Amino acid sequence: MKVAKILLVLIWFFCIYVSTSFSANVTYDHRALVIDGKRRVLVSGSIHYPRSTPEMWPDIIQKSKDGGLDVIETYVFWNLHEPVQGQYNFEGRADLVKFVKTVAAAGLYVHLRIGPYACAEWNYGSGFPLWLHFIPGIQFRTDNKPFEAEMQRFTAKIVDMMKQENLYASQGGPIILSQVENEYGNIDAAYGSAAKSYIKWAASMATSLDTGVPWVMCQQEDAPDPITSGRSCFCCGTLLPARWNFSELLYGFKLFKIGKELMPQLFLLPARKQYHGGTNFGRSAGGPFISTSYDYDAPIDEYGTIRQPKWGHLKDLHKAIKLCEEALTATDPTITSLGPNIEAAVYKTGSACAVFLANNDGTSDANVTFNGNSYDLPAWSVSILPDCRNVVLNTAKISSVSTISSFTTESLKEEIGSSDDSCSGWSWISEPVGISKADSFSKIGLVEQVNTTGDRSDYLWYSISIDLDAGTQAVLHIESLGHALHAFINGKLAGPGKEAFLSPYPTLLKLNATLLENAANGTGNNVKVDIPVTLVAGKNTIDLLSLTVGLKNYGAFFDTAGAGITGPVILKSLTDGNSLDLSSQNWTYQIGLKGEDLGPSSGSSGQWNSQSTLPTNQTLIWYKTNFVAPSGSDPVAINMTGMGKGEAWVNGQSIGRYWPTYASPSDGCTDSCNYRGAYQASKCLKNCGKPSQTLYHVPRSWLQPENNTLVLFEEIGGNPEQITFATKQIASVCSHVSESHPPHVDLWNSDAESGRTVGPVLLLECPYPNQVISSIKFASFGTPHGTCGNFKHGNCSSNKALSVVQKGCIGSSSCRIELSINTFGDPCEGIAKSLAVEASCA
């Protein structure tokens, strides 16, 4: 009895120990990362901590671990942590130490990509604080003393925080790697020879911080010793042994070919860039024009739900590659051609042998003979044979379950009596047009916006009055550096109007490289608009509201790209043909909105109006309501269809900029889609002509059951009564397996290493660990067709299928059904049969 108890305690102690303490010695050699003397293949995936909430972290990290990840990598976002120079924020979503500890608690390693330049579509160079821009003499990301001093201070601050908490592997913590700079090699040419000395400085600064684990640079071929590098870096490429062109169906992004010619120095295998993308809350989105969803089509979606079949297929892939670890890290491959477009990459040492068979042909399937055995290789696929004999996985054959997730619409239930006697439940305040704040100022000439607002607000008013002897029809010609603009004449919106408001930006979405680059460069490419206006005799007020929609996040000199109305601004009279250049006149400016100063996020101040009819389709208006949260624990989004553009706050937290009227171009989508063949950005486009985003994630932890406040600032006009909630559920779990699926090694059988092959098996698995399969919606053995949610019986169908599957699956969290005529009978002899199942979990 006593012995058993001690043993239990020991086992418990061992588990805790193993999951929270990490080996101490991380190095690397010419082949791989070496942890405690052993070369490793590690699977790494990216999760950016501020793009979800601390309440979501444990679940997302556990799902990452279940999906086969060993390492969680994240950038560190400087402007999140130091919004004002010397004033730090490490609370809530910015609690980096807590995030690293949460990863450690799950037993995973951390790759801490401090940068501090990140590359993650985050505001202003992916994370630089705007105050840096105002340091005299500063030049970003080059050999510049003021910049280097700040970069060193922040990098050292982060390293010290990690050290104090013993979070480096050298201290028993989870951090096995740190990154300094990021993807500088892509743009360093623009910085001339100073780039070289800057990179040398960055390397020696980083190593001087003495973390006891390796530093890496990414996209930096000439990374100075002892910084490791690789042409193909952890963030963008995948370090794989053979030519490796996956179906983008599964990856949704470009995978880089890795042959021996691109031999990276380390085997750290990113599952993909983003394992969980998440949400750009507040004004954190980089830009211009990136909205709040950073879903990325990642294996774990924006809401923290597993995305199938991608997640499951990657899990199989990670496992298959892990089975090759010994051979992969021991030797270079021998690459031989087995025919046109067919290659074998063989990793063979004394004790281990693994081979990757690749069919690089984008259209034709092939049968190949290797070592006297025959293998079936679908077009554009790789088969993995960890013992050089048995296939454990082919990248084109998906045996993972698929799921259908769906959103359920719920009306926005207003709190009873929350809004006086108004029947709508909404109250509102109009934002004044033009100058309304005491801190406005005047200046001769037009000012650049970023320099003026310091990004404290998206909004900058440019205001001027002119006196005319007589009324006239005119055109107001405005040139601006972007990003967007509303012009008001005598308090009324004159243009450019909802459509032109976006102009010329809709074309950006067509991924026209020249336009994108021009807009991103921000210089020499003024956005020009001509707005027809009616002017009266006497005084006319011209109020121009210029707005930024996320500051530039990428490219050389991103920090100098300006925004706002830099001119010229010219009034051209249509009646007498005269022009009046207003550019060098006396303008009055206001940074931000009156409502922003009043504390819109809390919705508690200001004179909210709720007595008269709710104004809709009105520019510059604040709306507020109290609401009851959707019940249950499913993820929640707000469906902003019906609104124009603005920002929304829930219980004081900004859920970000909304812009459902921003539609994607209507061309470029096709009905048929073939993911095979080389990647192109224009391949398999979806959603043409549709709003780029209608659903805006509200983390559950920001909601309470009742008495929640929603505040909106609407710029261009909308109807808040059309706003609804959407909650996300997984409606069905499906699997469809063919009898002709060749015998293969069961990856998840403990015999996998022994190479014992199994026949075709259908696997069903509930998405959440606390669920069981509650009903079988469809089961057919024979010739079923269709896709998950839409399966149909073929004309050959066993009448036992439903009962067999019900018996084998109901009440279990997962089940396996062998495709065998012994169980199902043979409904059509001589015909290849398959089993298709759709189930619900509860």
Ligand X SMILES: *[C@@H]1O[C@H](CO)[C@@H](O)[C@H](O)[C@H]1NC(C)=O
Nearest distance, CB of residue 366 and ligand X, angstroms: 6
- Judged by beta carbon, residue 367 or residue 666, the one nearer ligand X is 367
Which is closer to ligand X, CB of 44 or CB of 449?
449
Contact 74, 48 (CB under 8 A): yes
CB-nearer residue toward ligand X: 68 or 562: 562
CA distance to 263, 269, 659, per residue, from 258 (Å): 7, 12, 39
Quick one: 197 or 512, whose CB is closer to ligand X? Answer: 512
3-state SS class at 443: strand
**How far apart, in whole angstroms, are the C-alpha atoms of residue 666 and residue 687?**
8
| Closest CB 705 distance from ligand X, rounded Å | 10
Task: Reduce the DSSP state of residue 416 to 3 states and report it.
Answer: coil
CB of 517 to ligand X, least distance (A): 4
The full DSSP string for 265-326 is: S--EEEEEEEEE--B--TT-B-BTT--SB--TT-SB-TTS-B-TTHHHHHHHHHHHHHTTHH
Q: Which is nearer to ligand X, 67 or 434 (CB)?
A: 434
CB of 27 to ligand X, least distance (A): 4
Closest residue to ligand X, based on beta-carbon distance: 562
DSSP reduced 3-state for 680: coil
What is the nearest approach in angstroms of ligand X to the Cβ of residue 770? 26
Instruction: Report which DSSP code applies to 616.
Output: -
For residues 77 and 246, which CB has a smaller minimum distance to ligand X in the complex? 246
- What is the smallest separation between the CB atom of 719 and ligand X, expressed in angstroms? 8
Q: If you count them, how many residues does the chain have?
A: 842
Comparison of 509 and 556: residue with beta carbon closer to ligand X: 556
State the Cα–Cα distance between residues 742 and 745, nearest whole angstrom.
10
In terms of CB distance, is 196 or 254 closer to ligand X?
254
State the helix-helix crossing angle for 57-66 and 96-105, rounded to 10 degrees. Answer: 40
Minimum distance between the CB of residue 324 and ligand X, rounded to whole angstroms?
20
Three-state SS letters, 98-153: HHHHHHHHCCCEEEEEEECCCCCCEHHHHHCCHHHHHCCCCCCCCCCHHHHHHHHH
Which one, of 760, 772, 759, 768, lies nearest residue 814 by Cα?
772
Residue 247: name the closest of 370, 366, 359 by CA. 359
Nearest to ligand X of 490, 518 (CB atom) = 518
To ligand X, the closest distance from the beta carbon of 554 in angstroms equals 10
Closest distance between ligand X and the C-beta of residue 809, in Å? 27
CB of 49 to ligand X, least distance (A): 27
298 contacts 71 by C-beta, under 8 angstroms: no
First CA to last CA across the chain, in angstroms?
39
Nearest to 117, CA basis, from 557, 657, 562: 557
Nearer to ligand X, 90 or 789 (CB): 789
CA–CA distance, 312 with 589 (Å, rounded to integer): 55
Smallest distance, ligand X to C-beta of residue 214, A? 11
Tokens of 148: 């280097």
Contact in structure between 687 and 664 (CB atoms under 8 Å): yes
Please report how close the Cβ of residue 469 comes to ligand X at its closest, in angstroms: 21
Contact 618, 410 (CB under 8 A): no
> Residue 191 Cβ, how far from ligand X at the closest point, in Å?
10
Q: Are 125 and 80 in contact (CB under 8 A)?
A: no
Output 317 or 809, the one with its CB closest to ligand X: 317
Alpha-carbon span 809 to 164, nearest angstrom: 50
Which CB sits closer to ligand X, 331 or 639? 639
| Alpha carbons 97 and 103: distance in angstroms, whole number | 10
Q: Which CB sits closer to ligand X, 575 or 602?
A: 602
- Which residues form the interface with ligand X (CB under 6 A)? 25, 27, 34, 37, 190, 243, 245, 254, 257, 360, 365-367, 376, 407, 409, 442, 444, 448, 451, 507, 512, 514-515, 517-518, 521, 555-557, 560, 562, 586, 588, 617, 639, 641, 678-679, 694-695, 707, 709, 717, 724, 726, 794-795
By beta-carbon proximity to ligand X, the closer residue of 407 and 459 is: 407
CB of 233 to ligand X, least distance (A): 15
Residue linked to tokens 């995936």: 45
Q: Which is nearer to ligand X, 69 or 216 (CB)?
A: 216
C-alpha distances out from residue 261 to 138, 220, 486, Å: 39, 16, 53
Strand 42-47 relative to strand 268-276, pairing = parallel
Q: Are strands 708-714 and 695-698 parallel, antiparallel or unpaired?
A: unpaired
Q: How far is it between the farthest Cα atoms of the chain?
A: 104
Quote the CA–CA distance of 731 and 8 in Å, as a whole number.
40
Nearest distance from C-beta of residue 769 to ligand X, angstroms? 27
- Which segments of 340-394 are extended strands (E)? 342-348, 353-359, 366-370, 373-377, 381-385, 393-394
